Amino acid sequence: EIGQLYRQFEDYDKAIKYYLKALSLCQKVEEVDSSDLLGMIAEAYCEWGKCSEALKYLTKMLRSYEQSDNKSSYAKTAENIGWVYRITGQLEKAVASYLKSLKIRESETEKHDFAVCMLNLSEVYLEQGKLDKAEQCYREVLRISAENAYKEILTFAELGIGKVSLNQNKAKEAIHHLKKAVQAATDLGLNEIRCEGHGVIAQAYEMSSEFKQAIKHYKAFYRLSHEICKTRTDKRYLSLLDWLNFQKNLNEAEVQRLKHVELVEVNRDRELLKLTVEEIGKEKELLLGELREQAEKLEQQVIKDALTGLSNRRHFDEQYNYEFNRALRYKRPLTLGMADIDHFKKVNDEFSHQIGDEVLRQVARLFQENCRSQDWVARYGGEEFVFLFTETPKVNAVIAAEKVRKAIEKYDWTQVHPGLKVTISIGLSDDVTLGSSEKMLSLADKKLYEAKRGGRNQVAY
């Protein structure tokens, strides 16, 4: 529980230390399954931005479980490895890890963990655009969940089949499964699934040209999105109060410790730990101010990148998938651009990471100033950015991208640091007929690397 508290407040170093202490205790008791705790350690490493550490740790534990023939822990750890591969975009490796876990679990009498793992595998197949495999897995999860009354897993399976059907342009079938998912999510109080379900149903109705129904479900989607955001804010408020109590208890424990220390400085140290009424009042005001500030920031954290102020990857992915499906369905032009700051690692190494952060902020500002009002721009990760040129064929997108590239090239970067020079490379893709948004994104990424191999500071298309 202490590890969880530190993790909530993003002190991952201390969180992992407490997790490892708990793991050490669990491993001393043979009948205790520590695989869930391993998953928490992996999640904490990934949230800390150290996914490679998570993989290294989990792989080591996997070998240990294999040697000890601990099949249950082996299966759970393989599933955790699959999750890390999935969030880092290594989808083929994720599939292999999930299949490894399923092979162990298929002989188990209790099918809950098997169903959860297969559900995760279904999601990866959907992300890869392998719709037939995704549907096959979702339907198997649906069958197992129905037979065993796994209501929550069944809800996810219905939602997944609905998304697959939508991607197969089977709007009527998609609506059938999605409505079942929304009703089940309503009964179970799964608001995030309800929200996603309404959003996908709206797309299905839009595909069927039933616009009144589409608007109805879009309204439900946005209403639930607001409620979910408010709930997260409330939870953050309560977590801050828990953190304050935790720190208070630590102080009280320290006071008790000092009572047993036979040193001359005990009384002085004890006095330093006492809080006057005035100090408590000040701390209370500071806490309330922090809570108000956190509540205001949480709304933006859902969709904004903290450093640049641009849309974050999650928000962009939602908008991109919607625009891609719309362009594909109505045969409208859409161009996607991927941009990368040239030699950004060299900027960090030669001028410092602080200068690197300032470069990212200035690049984001120049993007916003030089993009058209209908264009979307977001930070995709690190020094990578993405552009969405809606209602724009490639020939016009090239002009827009060149304008952005020249703005970066001509900017006086010596204002940031003497001797600094920054350029960008951009890759464009407009082929919505590829069949999936992921493939179009992959093509834009290939064009970006063509621009880099061609000498950088250029637009490739």
Q: Is the model's pLDDT at 272 over the cut of 60?
A: no
For 307, the token pair is 């450093």
pLDDT of residue 368: 96
Q: Which of 227-231, 281-285, 290-294, 342-346 is most confident? A: 342-346
pLDDT of residue 18: 86
Q: Is the model's pLDDT at 262 over the cut of 60?
A: no
**CATH of range 2-184+193-198; options 1.25.40.10, 2.60.40.10, 3.50.50.60, 2.40.50.140:** 1.25.40.10
Q: Is the model's pLDDT at 103 over the cut of 80?
A: yes
- What mean pLDDT do residues 281-295 have? 69
Contact 119, 85 (CB under 8 A): no
pLDDT of residue 50: 86
Q: Is the model's pLDDT at 160 over the cut of 60?
A: yes
Note if 173 is an active site residue: no
**407 or 24: whose pLDDT is higher?**
407
The single residue of 383, 391, 402, 438 carrying the catalytic annotation is 383
DSSP string across 145-184: HHHHT-HHHHHHHHHHHHHHHHHTT-HHHHHHHHHHHHHH
- Indicate the pTM of the whole model: 0.52
List the one residue out of 412, 305, 398 whose CA is nearest residue 360.
305
**CATH of range 313-460; options 3.40.190.150, 2.60.40.3140, 3.30.70.20, 3.30.70.270:** 3.30.70.270
The 3-state DSSP class for residue 118 equals helix
- CA dist., res. 220 & res. 199, Å (int): 8
pLDDT of residue 349: 95
Which of 12-26, 329-343, 380-394 is predicted with the least confidence, judged by mean pLDDT? Answer: 12-26
> Kind of pairing, strands 459-460 and 424-429?
parallel
For the range 89-92, what are the long-range contacts, defined as Cβ-Cβ under 8 Å and sequence gap of 24 or more?
Answer: 91/124, 91/127, 91/128
pLDDT in tens, 115-152: 999 999 999 999 999 999 999 999 999 999 999 999 99
**For the packed helices 35-47 and 51-68, what is the interaxial angle rounded to 10 degrees?**
160
pLDDT of residue 263: 56
pLDDT in tens, 194-205: 999 999 999 999
**Domain layout of the chain by residue ranges:** 2-184+193-198, 234-301, 313-460
- What mean pLDDT do residues 377-392 have? 96
Q: Mean pLDDT of all residues in the chain?
A: 88
pLDDT in tens, 26-65: 777 765 666 677 778 888 888 888 888 889 888 988 888 8
For 115, the token pair is 């169903």
- What mean pLDDT do residues 367-392 have? 95
List the one residue out of 83, 84, 154 whose CA is nearest residue 112.
154
- CA dist., res. 263 & res. 269, Å (int): 10
**Running DSSP on this structure, what letter comes out for residue 203?**
H
**45 or 405: whose pLDDT is higher?**
405
- What mean pLDDT do residues 376-402 have? 96
- CA dist., res. 83 & res. 166, Å (int): 25
Angle at 455 between CA 311 and CA 426, to 5 degrees: 20
Q: Is the model's pLDDT at 278 over the cut of 70?
A: no
